[in-house]
Amino acid sequence: MPSANKDQDVQVFPVAANTRVLRSRTWDRLKFEIEYALQKGTTANSYLIEADRVALFDPPGESFTQIFLDALQARIEPQKIDYVVLGHINPNRAATLKALLVIAPEITIVCSNPGAISLGKIFPDTELKIQIIKGEDTLNLGQGHVLEFIPTPNPRYPDHLCTYDPKTEVLYSDKIFGCHVCGDRVFDEGWTVDSEDRRYYFDCLIAPHARQIMISLDKLGDKPARIYATAHGSLVRYSLIELTNDYRTWAQQQNTLESRVALIYASAYGNTATIAQAISRGITKAGVAVESINAESAKPEEIKTAIEQSVGFIMGSPTLGGHAPTQIQSALGIVLANAAKTQLAGVFGSFGWSGEAVDLLENKFRNAGYKFGFEPIRVKFTPTDAVLKTCEEAGTDFAQALKKAQRDRQKVRQAQGIDSDVDRTAKAVGRLVGSLCIVTTKKEGVSGAMLASWVSQATFNPPGLTVAVAKERAIESLLFKGNSFVLNVLPEGKHIPLMKHFLKPFAPGEDRFADVATQEADNGSPILKDALAYVECQVANRMECGDHWLLYAVAEQGNVLQPDGVTAIHQRKSGMHY
């Protein structure tokens, strides 16, 4: 069981013949990445095959360097390790690799060619023993462990490499099929409790690469695995078929979305990639697909095709020596030559001391006459939680602007007298009414609010209610299972000011409660003093319903602030919009 102060530790457990997992665990949030936002801790899983030759898979990041090496040395002399197999490499993981190589300098690193290039940048002055995987290469460790390698690159991890051991039928999937949950379950027995976390992980990390993940799934489908040895969370044994099918379904959903945004970036130290991930999350949650492109590895034709097939584009760049990287400048030329002036634009970037690269992108697009979907995002050093939330909201704003243009075209069609069965059904559904409420929440300094009218009591014991939350709402990512909120019921006749305030568009990161009278509820969320009544709630469950999440929440306590008041309701003309 986890210790009371949530210390980190390493859990070691046998997985298959000659195979063990070393699960470096933390019950706290590991670092600033959008897919960690559920804050259930995580595991960084490394694997050890001890046959005639010894292979270590994926040493963890620097947060675990010392405890990992201590656990490793307690079980094997590092000098006996012949190979370190890298599913991907980054400066964080490289810190542990560097410490390991000090102890055992004769280790051979096995990785993809892009991985070898990354290692050369990370270790510029170190001569490494590297074995680059090509085509159908294998690695014979003896005793039947003949490792097979499957390159599975994507824009975020162009060096991504999966490994299959036919002897044990274990597929080392690195970033694929994981989730950020810390616990004592080595395998996924009772896996339904992980469903929300798996989906969230996919939406944040994998969805922007849906096209590439479908290709990867086809490759991995040729390997008859009985265990997915993931980089994070429990190893997948009991839900292997279900999770594989879910990945296909979720990826296909992204690939079939009508609108698509090309997101092109380069990232020197990972910060720009993290920002890109947050923006992508905001776009995809609003029902618009993202074609994520890493300018450092993409071919010019790939960038050109993505631009031509998109309704908008976003470019991100670090600033190196006061300039944008050469790859970004080349991509910029391709975008300017092929993007229609009707396409929506966006720019972002990270920097240490100055942000000339972002200025370059902004000026080029403004001078060319492109309209921006959000104000340029400039992030100094490592993005914080609040910054990532702002980036996510910027992505959602971008997607909503694209969807608004689609709705405007629909209105023109209706104005021309074209009335379909769908239009007539929408009018009928629009006659359903609901209470006008404001949902408010606050979590670790990040607050949110939204106007809600799809609210209904659901249970007597315990007293519970349902709230429908559109996926594109900024507040959605603060309303997961276990989170708290306040449902503020608006009073008829006095509801207009509050309704108008929370209906207005807010800039990413803007305070939703400026000039609004509030007090803090026991659960930490704001109570609107001018509400008719309020109910403090905790989310007990979430169900995905088309373009909304249906929340079931338990009412913990509440009060009527205006005993003589009447609840305001919302009358609509169409069931296709609020």
Are 62 and 101 within one domain? yes
397, 457: one domain: no
pLDDT reading at 161 higher than 80? yes
Task: Mark whether 245 and 323 lie in a shared domain.
Answer: no
| 6 pLDDT higher than 60 | no
Whether 425 maps to a domain, the answer reads no
* Together in a domain, 324 and 441: no
Last residue of a domain, one of 367, 388, 403: 403
For 540, what's the count of Cα atoms within 13 Å in the CB-facing half-sphere? Answer: 14
* Structure confidence by residue, pLDDT tens digits, 209-235: 999 999 999 999 999 999 999 999 999
| Angle, in degrees to the nearest 10, between helices 326-338 and 300-308 | 40
Do 500 and 557 lie in one domain? The reply is yes
Question: SS3 string of 419-483?
Answer: CCHHHHHHHHHCCCCEECEEEEEEECCEEEEEEECCEEEEECCCCEEEEEEECCCHHHHHCCCCC
Nearest to 168 by CA among 187, 147, 189: 147
Q: Which two tokens stand for residue 307?
A: 């631009």
Tell me the per-residue pLDDT of 310-330, one tens digit each, with 9 for 90 and over: 999 999 999 998 899 999 999
Q: Are 350 and 275 in contact (CB under 8 A)?
A: yes
Whether 291 and 262 have beta carbons less than 8 Å apart is answered as: yes
Whole-number pLDDT of residue 434: 84
293 phi and psi, to 5 degrees? -135, 120
CB atoms within 10 A of CB 544: 12
Q: What is the pLDDT of residue 550?
A: 95
State the pLDDT confidence band at 423, using cuts at 50, 70 and 90: low
**What confidence tier does 477 reach under pLDDT thresholds 50, 70, 90?**
confident
Considering the chain, what percentage of its residues have pLDDT values greater than 70? Answer: 95
Say if residue 374 is in the same domain as residue 268. Answer: yes
Model pTM score: 0.82
Q: Which residues pair with 14 in a beta bridge?
A: 20
The answer to whether residue 380 sits within a structural domain is yes
> What is the domain-level CATH number for residue 359?
3.40.50.360
Question: Treating both helix axes as pointing N-terminal to C-terminal, what angle do 91-103 and 65-73 enclose, rounded to 10 degrees?
Answer: 40
- How many domains does the structure of the chain reveal? 3
Average per-residue pLDDT for the chain? 91
What type of residue sits at position 500?
K
Query: Within a domain: residue 109?
Result: yes
Asked if residue 36 is part of any domain, the answer here is: yes
Question: Within this chain, do residues 355 and 464 fall inside the same structural domain, yes or no?
Answer: no
Residues 236 and 222 in one domain: yes
Identify which has the larger pLDDT, 550 or 385. Answer: 550
What is the domain-level CATH number for residue 230? 3.60.15.10
**Tokens representing residue 546 in the block:** 């088309």
Structure confidence at residue 31 (pLDDT): 63
424 in a domain, yes or no? no
Q: Which two tokens stand for residue 79?
A: 């000098």
Residues 230 and 367 in one domain: no
Q: Which pLDDT value is given to residue 2?
A: 37
Same domain? 240 vs 305: no
- Compare 316 and 385 and report the one with higher pLDDT: 316
Q: 5 pLDDT band (50/70/90 cuts)?
A: very low
Is residue 421 situated within a structural domain? no
State the Cα–Cα distance between residues 362 and 345, nearest whole angstrom: 9
Q: How confident is the model at residue 40 (pLDDT cuts 50, 70, 90)?
A: confident
Q: Please report where in the chains the tokens 């509820």 appear, as a residue.
A: 521
Q: Which SS3 state, helix, strand or coil, does residue 268 take?
A: coil
Q: Average pLDDT in the 467-477 region?
A: 90
How far apart are the C-alpha atoms of 180 and 35, rounded to whole Å? 8
Q: Are residues 200 and 103 in the same domain?
A: yes
Cα angle at 444 between 543 and 193, to 5 degrees? 30
Distance CA(232)–CA(44), nearest Å, equals 5
Structural domain harbouring 346: 258-403
pLDDT digits (tens, 9 = 90+) for 237-284: 999 999 999 999 999 999 998 899 999 999 988 899 999 999 999 999
pLDDT recorded at residue 234: 97
* pLDDT for res 424: 72
Confirm whether 373 is domain-assigned. Answer: yes
Here the CATH number for the domain that contains residue 460 is: 2.30.110.10
Given 403, 438, 457, the domain boundary residue is 403
Q: Is 262 inside a domain boundary?
A: yes
User: Over 60: is that where the pLDDT of 422 sits?
Assistant: no
Query: Kind of pairing, strands 518-520 and 526-528?
Result: antiparallel
User: Do residue 247 and residue 265 come from a single domain?
Assistant: no
Last-in-domain residue among 254, 285, 311: 254
Q: pLDDT tens-digit profile of 41-99?
A: 999 999 999 999 999 999 999 999 999 999 999 999 999 999 999 999 988 899 999 99
